[in-house]
Amino acid sequence: MSWSTTLSTGAGFWDPVIWVIAALVTICIAWLIWRTGERTCERGADAEGPFISGNADPGPSAVHVPGGNLYWGFSTALSGMYHRLIPLHTGLLSDYLLWFLGVTAVILVIVVGVGA
C-alpha cells in the first residue's frame, strides 16, 4: 500500500496528497489575511483588552454566567420542595440505605395490604 493511496470509506475518502495541498492553500490564505493586519498595533493590556466603554476588563470570573442561571425559574418555583429535599441529602450511605429500606417497607406494606 503506497503512502499516497486514496482510502475510500464509503462515506468519503482520505488522500494524504489532497490533504497536504489543502493545508498549504489554507496556510497561504491565512498568511495573506495576517499580512493585511496593522503592523504598528500596540501590544499591552489596555490595547488588547475588550472595549467596554472604557471600563476595565473585570475578568472572566466576574462576567461568567453559571449554568444554574438557565434553570433559575424552575429552582425558584420549586424552592418549597427543594428546601425540604436538600436537607435529606446528607451524603451518608447509611442514611440512603435507611431511606431505601424504609421506602421498601412502606411499599411492601401497601402491596401486601392491597393484595389481602
Interaction site with other proteins (CB under 8 A): 38, 40-42, 44, 46-47, 49, 51, 53-56
> Please, which residue, 33 or 47, has the CB nearer to other proteins?
47
Shortest CB 45 distance to other proteins, Å: 9
Shortest CB 39 distance to other proteins, Å: 9
Handedness of CA 70, 74, 80, 84 (dihedral sign): negative
> Please, which residue, 41 or 93, has the CB nearer to other proteins?
41
d(CA 56, CA 61): 14
Instruction: Quote the cell numbers at residue 29.
Output: 490564505
Shortest CB 64 distance to other proteins, Å: 22
Give backbone dihedrals phi and psi of 88, rounded to 5 degrees, phi first: -70, -25
Cβ proximity of 71 and 79 under 8 Å: no
> Please, which residue, 9 or 40, has the CB nearer to other proteins?
40
